[in-house]
Amino acid sequence: MSELELQQVSRWYGHVVAVNGVSMTIGPGVTGLLGPNGAGKSTLIAMMSGFLAPSAGSVTLDGQPIWRNDGLYRQIGLVPEREAVFEHLTGRQFVVAMAELHGLSSPGQAAAHAIATVEMHEAQDRRISTYSKGMRQRIKMAQALVHDPAVLLLDEPFNGMDPRQRMHLMELLREMGQQGRTVLFSSHILEEVEQVARHIEVVVAGRHAASGDFGAIRRLMTDRPNRYVIRSSDDRRLAAALIADESARAVSLRSNGDGIDVEAVDFGRFSWVLPRLTRENDIRLLEVSATDESLESVFSYLISS
Amino acid sequence: MNATVVRLAFRSMFGRRRAILLCVLALVLLAVAVLVRVLAGESTSDASVVLFEIGLVLIVPLVALIAGTGVIAPEIDDGSIVYLLAKPISRYVIVISKLAVAVTCSLVFGALTMLAPGLILDPSYTELWLGSGVGALTAGVVYSAIFLMLSIATRHAVVWGLIYVLIWEGLLGGLLSGVRWVSVAQWASAITDEIAASSRLDPRLSVVYAIVVAVVVLVLATWFAGFRLRSFHLTGEE
């Protein structure tokens, strides 16, 4: 049972702050590190894996600082985001070499077990340069597992995987979590995190935006005010009908006279009430489009709540 | 030293175009020696020129540049170095293992090749070609350590290495006598001349100074490379 702890961790590059005052504790089980691109997820994982010194604060594994502590790599398995591996080696040679570097007594056996775990035995004797993106991810996973680490850190592990490979890796991560390992993976895709991790940590613009059970955070995300642009056969009448309903907080006619801007506060009710109101008022809907569905807007809302 | 790091570094060196470049450099030196022999006959002075101007000042440092940067720079560039560093192994051990591979390449493609011009141009002068080999090995070891350290310290190690070899040693070394104090080729030349028991290679340094400074630079460069590798930063693609 290992625990990663970040206390008031900041990291800056010159005048650019990549991570700002983040505190979190990652315990056994699967934790998803969620945030849009550029939020600081890779910076956090680099600090957790001893590849970046925090500018302020501390990053520890079971109380020991990770930075410049080579011995801790016995407990850590790392799957970096970058694709490059030792291209001139076969998958098996690569994993065996990694097992040797860990000083394992039976590197061949450990490598065979890790390769079987990620289902790469069929391609293990092919050069890594011939591997697809998904196969590379799996062989990277095998090298991270070869020494049976208590902590597994994965930076955007699902990138480039096809749906079947993705499902398999998700299953693997769930198993690792159930075995009592501390598994942390980063992703910018909500649905990926949802399927694997019950516990999530959300980072936005270098700040720790939310932490906790996925269900609660998911509800916060779906219940946030949503903005839409709606065009119809009678915008003014539709605006009046919508503002009379409690699902909308603000409605305004667009300045160019083409459509209305609506801010809905109850997404579930709004999606049900809109078609009913148009039907009752004999209005024809021409267009309904969400204007703030980007992850950034979702995360921004999380910070403000 | 770690045997796995050494094995991976060898495979990396010879799995790429670098191995071809190393062979080409060695062949260039041999070809020049053969050409001079054919055109000018057996000559100690010609042998000295080929050994110093082409061998020590050009071929040996270029071989070491390819070997010293080749064992680590590509792995730093593409990020695959992380698989070596995320292991319970001292970063100094990784540096020393990589240096051993670079030195071996310098020995095979630099020092051993440097025996040939002496043999071709002045075969009776045993001390000369033997001294050239030892001098070239010394230079190869020191250059390898410097270029390995540069590869870890900067992303532009090859550029800085070329500037040092071609401009500092190749150009300024011939124009300014003070350069010899900080020139690996001149230190190697002093050692070669000591073994050859001759001043025909024009040494202007004492051999003691040359040996001491070569050892100091080797130790400092290796230490600094390990020190910098301990602070290696990995960042993702975001």
d(CA B120, CA B34): 7
Q: CB distance from B204 to chain A under 8 Å?
A: no
CA distance, residue B17 to nearest chain A CA (Å)? 12
The confidence score (pLDDT) of residue B214 equals 93
pLDDT band at A266 (very low <50, low <70, confident <90, very high): confident
Among the candidates A176, A211, A246, a domain finishes at: A211
Cα dihedral across residues A58, A64, A70, A74: positive or negative: negative
The arithmetic mean of pLDDT across residues B144-170, rounded, is 90
Please list every residue in chain B whose beta carbon sits closer than 8 Å to the beta carbon of residue A88: 11-12, 15-16
Tell me which residue of A9, A29, A27 sits closest to A18, measured CA to CA.
A9
Between B132 and B179, name the one with better pLDDT.
B132
Q: CB distance from A43 to chain B under 8 Å?
A: yes
A69 with A190, same domain? yes
First to last CA, chain B: 35
Do the domain assignments include residue A44? Answer: yes
The confidence score (pLDDT) of residue B203 equals 52
Residue B95 · residue B220 · CB < 8 Å:
no
Which of B5, B7, B8 is most worth mutating to test chain A (most A CB atoms within 10 A of its CB)? Answer: B8
Between A265 and A49, name the one with better pLDDT.
A49
Rg of chain A over Cα atoms, rounded to whole angstroms, equals: 24
Identify the burial level of A66 via C-beta atoms within 10 angstroms of its C-beta, where 0-12 means exposed, 13-18 middle and 19 or more buried: buried
Tokens of A81: 């985001």
DSSP labels, A28-61: SEEEEEE--TTSSHHHHHHHHTTSS--SEEEEEE
pLDDT band at A218 (very low <50, low <70, confident <90, very high): low
CATH number of the domain bearing residue A270:
3.30.70.100
Please list every residue in chain B whose beta carbon sits closer than 8 Å to the beta carbon of residue A43: 235-236, 238
- Its ipTM equals 0.83
Q: CB distance from A74 to chain B under 8 Å?
A: yes
A61 with A14, same domain? yes
A207 with A250, same domain? no
d(CA A215, CA B167): 65
Domain that includes residue A107, residue range: 4-211
CA distance, residue A210 to nearest chain B CA (Å)? 20
Contact call for A86 and B86, based on CB within 8 A: no
Q: Which of B8, B11, B88 lies at the smallest CB-CB distance from A102?
A: B88
Q: CB distance from A145 to chain B under 8 Å?
A: no
A11 with A95, same domain? yes
Do the domain assignments include residue A216? Answer: no
Do the domain assignments include residue A122? Answer: yes
Do the domain assignments include residue A217? Answer: no
A138 with A184, same domain? yes
Q: Which of residues 69-128 of B touch A (CB under 8 A)?
A: 78-80, 82-91
DSSP labels, A133-162: HHHHHHHHHHHHHTT--SEEEESSTTTT--
The confidence score (pLDDT) of residue B16 equals 66
Domain spans of chain B, in order of start? 3-230
Listed range (A57-61, A138-142, A156-160) with the worst mean pLDDT? A156-160
CA distance, residue A87 to nearest chain B CA (Å)? 9
**Is the pLDDT at B2 greater than 50, yes or no?**
yes
A250 with A176, same domain? no
pLDDT band at B237 (very low <50, low <70, confident <90, very high): very low
A257 φ/ψ angles, rounded to the nearest 5 degrees = 75, 5
- 10 Å Cβ neighbour count for A150? 18
Among the candidates A190, A211, A232, a domain finishes at: A211
Between B198 and B214, name the one with better pLDDT.
B214
Q: To the nearest whole percent, how much of chain A has pLDDT over 90?
A: 50
- The partner residues of A260 in beta bridges, in order of sequence, read A230, A253
Contact call for A80 and B85, based on CB within 8 A: no
Count of structural domains within chain A: 2
**Is the pLDDT at B217 greater than 90, yes or no?**
yes
The confidence score (pLDDT) of residue A302 equals 64
Q: What is the pLDDT of residues B111-134, one digit of tens each?
A: 888 887 777 777 777 777 788 888
Contact call for A101 and B82, based on CB within 8 A: no
A171 with A35, same domain? yes
Instruction: Scan for tokens 């801007």, then name that residue.
Output: A261
A196 with A230, same domain? no
Q: What is the pLDDT of residues A108-128, one digit of tens each?
A: 999 999 999 988 888 999 999
Do the domain assignments include residue A218? Answer: no
A179 with A117, same domain? yes
Do the domain assignments include residue A94? Answer: yes
Q: Return the residue of A nearest to B85 by Cα.
A: A70
The confidence score (pLDDT) of residue B238 equals 41
